């Protein structure tokens, strides 16, 4: 079994009422429509699985690779635990909140909960996110929702490219118009909508809200963890650790020139968000281009990265 072969993946695209065309404009993807909201770049979730592009596992869904070739991953997780997405918020996303593992397991047929984080890839001037709320009790949260006191309830935060936000389960949140993010999350598709600006779908219907479940799972009062980034620099690379906890570790690697990377102790998810270059391992060379997504198996390497590259790296 060759663990020194990177696994390049073909993403899956999801159309959304708030989607646009920036995934094509920024990354060159062939998107299904002008309302393409999500690129599920590294996904084994049943609602949209990435497919292995080439090599010995070409054409295999990631979920099948995970279950049939655990020697590449050596993980105790029951299902592939992470999901990497790119999101194009051409319009405001619905205000939403996600459950934790315990609540989702009980109420959503054993689905994982959803703790996530965002790296802001692109943001138009004046762009902002909703990140948290001002209610101090469940009764106040319910009352403000029922009264439509959205401006008083929701906390808005301006954003720019390069910002990072950790969004644990229980956090009321929403991307605002004009933002593109790379999202690393638990492999879950469970979302409870709190507010959707009274928008109607293509059939003229108001989109479903999930107010009781949302109130159940929202953290009150809102707890914020201040971002504590850790950056390490050596020849050819600056490695910035954004978050490292029981759900995932997420880092940004800025590559300029050549740098040597030690062998993986864990399988590693890689997304190229800027630039181009090469990955070299043993006597093999692999081209890396903006918009590529790949998995490096456990024990991969040591290897060399060469070029001008910005990578988002994640591990369970």
258 three-class SS: strand
CA angle 107, 111, 113 (to 5 degrees): 85
Cβ pair 298, 264 in contact under 8 A: yes
| Cis upstream peptide for 221 (omega within 30°) | yes
Give the burial class of 108: count Cβ atoms within 10 A of its Cβ; 0-12 exposed, 13-18 middle, 19 or more buried. middle
- 142: annotated active-site residue: no
Residues 6+ positions from 78 with CB-CB distance below 8 Å = none
Under DSSP, is residue 188 helix (H, G, I), strand (E, B) or coil?
coil
Gap between the Cα atoms of 116 and 168, Å rounded: 6
DSSP character at residue 137: S
Pick the catalytic residue from 74, 142, 193, 200: 193
> What is the C-alpha separation between 239 and 252, in angstroms, rounded?
6
Strand 51-52 to 116-123 pairing: unpaired
Residue with token string 């020849």: 235
How many Cβ atoms sit within 10 Å of the Cβ of residue 148?
A: 11
Instruction: For residue 227, give the 3-state DSSP assignment.
Output: coil
Which backbone phi and psi does 170 adopt, to 5 degrees? 90, -5
Catalytic residues: 193
């Amino acid at each position: 079994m060759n663990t020194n072969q990177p696994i390049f993946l073909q993403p899956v695209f999801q159309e959304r009422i708030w989607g646009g065309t920036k995934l094509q404009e920024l990354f060159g993807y062939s998107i299904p429509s002008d309302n393409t909201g999500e690129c599920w770049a590294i996904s084994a979730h049943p609602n949209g699985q990435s497919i292995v592009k080439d090599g010995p596992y070409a054409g295999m869904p990631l979920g099948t690779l995970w279950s049939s070739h655990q020697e590449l991953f050596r993980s105790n997780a029951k299902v592939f635990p992470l999901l990497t997405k790119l999101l194009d918020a051409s319009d405001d996303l619905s205000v939403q909140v996600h459950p934790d593992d315990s609540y989702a397991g009980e109420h959503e047929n054993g689905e994982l909960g959803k703790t996530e984080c965002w790296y802001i890839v692109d943001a138009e001037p004046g762009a902002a996110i909703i990140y948290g709320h001002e209610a101090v009790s469940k009764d106040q949260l319910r009352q403000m929702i029922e009264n439509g006191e959205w401006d008083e309830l929701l906390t808005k935060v301006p954003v720019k490219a390069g910002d990072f936000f950790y969004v644990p389960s229980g956090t009321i949140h929403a991307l605002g118009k004009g933002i593109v993010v790379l999202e690393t999350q638990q492999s879950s598709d469970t979302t409870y909508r709190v507010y959707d600006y009274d928008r109607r779908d293509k059939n003229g219907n108001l989109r479903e809200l999930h107010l009781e479940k949302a109130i159940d799972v929202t953290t009150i009062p809102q707890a914020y963890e201040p971002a504590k980034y850790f950056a390490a620099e050596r020849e050819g690379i600056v490695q910035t650790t954004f978050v490292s906890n029981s759900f995932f570790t997420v880092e940004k690697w800025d590559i300029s020139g050549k740098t040597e990377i030690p062998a993986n102790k864990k399988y590693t998810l890689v997304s190229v968000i800027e630039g181009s270059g090469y990955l070299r391992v043993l006597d093999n060379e692999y081209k890396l281009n903006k918009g590529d997504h790949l998995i490096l198996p456990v024990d991969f390497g040591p290897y060399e990265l060469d070029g001008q590259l910005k990578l988002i790296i994640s591990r369970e």
